[in-house]
Amino acid sequence: MAWKTQGGDFMDAPSATVTVESPPRLQTLAVTWGSTAEMVSDVQDWLDDPASNYGWIVLGKEGTRQTAKRVASRENASTEDRPRLLIEYFPPTR
């Protein structure tokens, strides 16, 4: 499917935000986005309608110098560096 907007189609409001510090040179840095109501809603929507699951996009504020970050994709040769989605489910108590 082609994008309707040049550069991609995505929601204006983020599901979550995190500040990513710069790791020491030539080292990787694990980054965790904490759960938000918006992220939970996204995942529930994907469960309800799997065809609507286009994933999340990671956007950075790259308007200033030396702020870009490299993010590994699911195709990364190092399985340890690939992104992971961890879902903890707690069934309702009676």
Residue with tokens 């550069």: 7
Q: What is the pLDDT of residues 23-70, one digit of tens each?
A: 777 677 778 888 899 999 999 999 999 988 888 888 887 777 777 777
User: Is 31 a member of any domain?
Assistant: no
User: Is 47 a member of any domain?
Assistant: no
User: Is 48 a member of any domain?
Assistant: no
Structural domain total, the chain: 1
User: Is 44 a member of any domain?
Assistant: no
55, 82 Cβ separation under 8 angstroms: no
Structure tokens at 52: 């609507």
User: Is 37 a member of any domain?
Assistant: no
What band does 71 get if pLDDT is binned at 50, 70 and 90? confident
**Owning domain of residue 62:** 57-85
User: Is 43 a member of any domain?
Assistant: no
pTM of the model: 0.67
- Position with higher pLDDT, 74 vs 70: 74
User: Is 42 a member of any domain?
Assistant: no
Look at residues 57, 65, 58, 56 and name the one whose alpha carbon lies nearest to residue 22: 65
User: Is 80 a member of any domain?
Assistant: yes
